[in-house]
Amino acid sequence: MNGGEGQSRSANSSLVLPQPSRDGTHPLEQALFERCSVREFSRLPLSLAEVSQLLWAAQGRVSRDGRRTAPSAGALYPLELSLVAGNVRELAAGVYRYEPAEHRIACMATGDCRGALAEAALGQAWIEEAPAVLTIAAVERRVTRKYGQRGVRYVHIEAGHAGQNALLQAVALGLGAAPVGAFDDEAVRAIAGLRPDERPLYLIVIGRRRY
């Protein structure tokens, strides 16, 4: 499967994201209480600042020594995040890879491929309505070369940490979101421009609730 109609691969160009907020006013307990899967979205776009906050919440750096917002076995950080953007202000539709060290995104492909991603997710059409989707992939050998086969379990646990961070951050921003685990791995790999050793594990679909 290709990256989707209207999508084309392009040379990497990077965009430094707005600095994430670290002093939000939405209590954690309230976000936990309010979190639920949202699968109906309005046509209103996300802002670049919201995208920045979501990416940081999932895998952003929080210290000079490289620690991130989600715990990682042995601080090996096997996860790789991509943003499939279709309706984000100040950001052209395309696929972007998150670079935590610089808090920036690199353009991997141009064009709106939300429809192709919905198809790859076993035809879940509601995904195409969302302004953006985070894809969480992993390079398992970063962990298994230290922990052996048990490291695969650690990778999956870490993906859950990152996914929940993004889901709670969405609530705190007044957004709706839902996690998706049902998809064709190879199709998602092609759409997100993943490398051969990067295994897609999770999609986090995000947008504004439709009331």
Secondary structure (DSSP) of the chain: --S-TT-EE----EEEPPPPPS--SS-HHHHHHH--B---B-SPPBPHHHHHHHHHHHH-B-STT--BSS--GGG---EEEEEEESSBTTB-SEEEEEETTTTEEEEEEES--HHHHHHHTTT-GGGGGSSEEEEEEE-THHHHHHHTTHHHHHHHHHHHHHHHHHHHHHHHTT-EEEEE--S-HHHHHHHHT--TTPEEEEEEEEEPBP-
Q: Establish if 10 belongs to a structural domain.
A: no
pLDDT at residue 61 greater than cutoff 90: yes
Q: For 31-53, write each residue's pLDDT tens digit.
A: 999 999 999 999 999 999 999 99
Domain extent for 145:
26-207
Q: Does the pTM exceed 0.75?
A: yes
Q: Establish if 118 belongs to a structural domain.
A: yes
Q: In whole numbers, what is the pLDDT of the chain averaged over residues?
A: 94
Q: Establish if 98 belongs to a structural domain.
A: yes
Q: Establish if 167 belongs to a structural domain.
A: yes
Total number of domains in the chain: 1
pLDDT band at 211 (very low <50, low <70, confident <90, very high): confident
Q: Establish if 153 belongs to a structural domain.
A: yes
What CATH number corresponds to the domain at position 180? 3.40.109.10
